[in-house]
Amino acid sequence: MNIPIYQVDAFTNQLFGGNPAAVCPLKEWLPAATMLQIAKENNLAETAFFIPKGDDYELRWFTPEIEIDLCGHATLATAHVIFTQLGEQRESIYFHTQKAGILSVSCKDDLYVLDFPSRIPEPTILPEGLLAAMGGPAPKFVLKSRDYFLVYENEVEIAALKPDFNALNKIDAIGFIVTAPGEKCDFVSRFFAPQVGINEDPVTGSAHCNLIPYWAEKLGKKHLHAFQISERRGELWCELKGDRVLMAGKAVTYLKGEIFVG
């Protein structure tokens, strides 16, 4: 069986920036174990697989370790493939997902606008070992939704964090969001997820489901500009829209080819 594969750098307009994702169009679902093996072989933060569903699509995401419930950059990458490689002419497309409901992506000028559910983080207690594992000063606030959400004083503190990933891996959480006000934008962030095989994710759409409602409330504004300040760096234009969040970003195709699966 030959499966098409694309690799796309998401949330950037430059190759080797943003967050790389693999995208595999399928006619029907492969066994989950096979999709996980492909994701392991790709060794990227996420590999997205999609199939047609009438005029829409079904979408699933795999890290090298697990099938994940929600992934922003691989959704953007998938939309980029559908619009630029598969000839989609509509302005908006819809993805049906198992755990995140229906997600839409619109193509407007050179931006892809993702419509995702809002996830509001709630105050929680700092778990034992997390402060030392982060390798930096104590956060101002500790919150949690799916992921731990740590708020710091400024961008310099976020950039200087040097996490101990072995120690983070011992704390029961899918991921760890760290954030602060930005120097040249509304807020900055980083995201760590060693338990699912991603020490530091370059740009994380699902984290912004938390970040957007938090900073919209703190800053008193619904339209926000953000950077995820990983080494590869990503840029997002964001909006809080009721119980949904909009994330807009760019993408570029890095490669296309075929996978040979027996």
The helix (run of H) or strand (run of E) holding residue 103 is strand 102-108
Q: Do 137 and 180 lie in a common domain?
A: yes
What percent helix, strand, coil does the chain show, rounded to 5? 20, 40, 35
Q: DSSP string of 220-261?
A: T-SEEEEEE-SSS-EEEEEEEETTEEEEEE-EEEEEEEEEE-
Q: pLDDT of 31-45, one tens digit each? A: 999 999 999 999 999
Q: Do 45 and 156 lie in a common domain?
A: no
Is pLDDT at 164 greater than 90 in this prediction? yes
Q: For residue 46, indicate whether it is catalytic.
A: yes
- The pLDDT, as a whole number, for residue 262 is 78
Q: Do 188 and 222 lie in a common domain?
A: yes
Global pTM reads 0.91
Q: Do 63 and 91 lie in a common domain?
A: yes
Q: Do 131 and 219 lie in a common domain?
A: yes
Q: Do 6 and 95 lie in a common domain?
A: yes
Nearest to 69 by CA among 7, 148, 147, 2: 147
Q: Do 134 and 206 lie in a common domain?
A: yes
Q: Do 126 and 112 lie in a common domain?
A: no
Q: Which domain holds residue 54?
A: 2-117+248-260
Q: Per-residue pLDDT averaged across 2-29, rounded?
A: 97
Q: pLDDT of 75-96, one tens digit each? A: 999 999 999 999 999 999 999 9
What SS3 class is residue 169?
coil
Q: How confident is the model at residue 155 (pLDDT cuts 50, 70, 90)?
A: very high
Is pLDDT at 108 greater than 90 in this prediction? no
Q: pLDDT of 169-196, one tens digit each? A: 999 999 999 999 999 999 999 999 999 9
Q: Do 105 and 215 lie in a common domain?
A: no
Catalytic residue among 28, 41, 46, 235: 46
CATH number, position 93:
3.10.310.10
Give the mean pLDDT of the chain.
96
Q: Do 126 and 235 lie in a common domain?
A: yes
Q: Do 17 and 100 lie in a common domain?
A: yes
Q: In this structure, which amino acid lies at residue 76? A: L
Percent of the chain with pLDDT over 90: 97
- The pLDDT, as a whole number, for residue 110 is 85
Separation between Cα atoms, residue 202 and residue 200, nearest integer Å: 6
Q: Do 32 and 113 lie in a common domain?
A: yes
Is pLDDT at 11 greater than 90 in this prediction? yes
Q: In this structure, which amino acid lies at residue 32? A: A
What SS3 class is residue 158?
helix
**Total structural domains within the chain:** 2
- The pLDDT, as a whole number, for residue 137 is 96
